[in-house]
Amino acid sequence: MSAQTIRLLVAGVLFLHGIAHLGALTALLVNRSGHNTDGWLPARSWLFPSLAPATFAASALWVLSAIGFVATALSFWGLLIPGDLWRQLAVASSIVSATGIVLFLGTWPVFNTTAALGVNISVTVALLWLHWPPIELFGK
């Protein structure tokens, strides 16, 4: 696979994951009334049940994740944010996103939850343990 293809895939996944967080945020805000709409439930934390519904807390995590992943994709391309920051931004965004998913488990449909956790785990493992993509490939 060419470096350009890898570059497009990495940036695309990071950007789309950020945009998906905005979709989850929209669903949270629409469903805060307590109604189940297409599998999306109001944000309720199993760890902090007194925050029911905890739309503000969940929304804050989702906004941070969305901004973080979009910023990561821009940084990966060297747009607006220095290119050497993308790895740190990606790991931090993955941790914030995974924290939100775990704290509000059951709020989102199973497929969305599984897919989001899969991306978060993949990003973290690829960057911290596999050291992929290699710095030599992109110079950052």
What pLDDT digit, counting tens, does each position of 20-62 carry? 888 777 766 665 555 555 555 556 676 777 766 656 777 788 8
Q: What pLDDT, on a 0 to 100 scale, did the predictor assign at position 94?
A: 97
Predicted local distance difference test score (pLDDT) of residue 30: 63
From CA 76, how far away is CA 86, in angstroms rounded?
A: 5
Residue 37: predicted pLDDT: 52
Give the CA count within 13 Å in the CB-facing half-sphere of 92. Answer: 12
Q: Pick from 61, 76, 72, 77: which is nearest to 22 by CA?
A: 61
Q: What is the pLDDT of residue 80?
A: 83
Q: What is the pTM of this model?
A: 0.81
Phi, psi dihedrals of residue 45, rounded to the nearest 5°? -95, 130
CA 26 – CA 59 distance, rounded (Å): 9
Q: Is 139 left (phi over 0), alpha (psi -120 to 50) or beta?
A: left
Euclidean distance between the first and the last CA atom of the chain, given in angstroms as a whole number: 19
Lowest-confidence segment of 4-13, 27-36, 86-95 by average pLDDT: 27-36
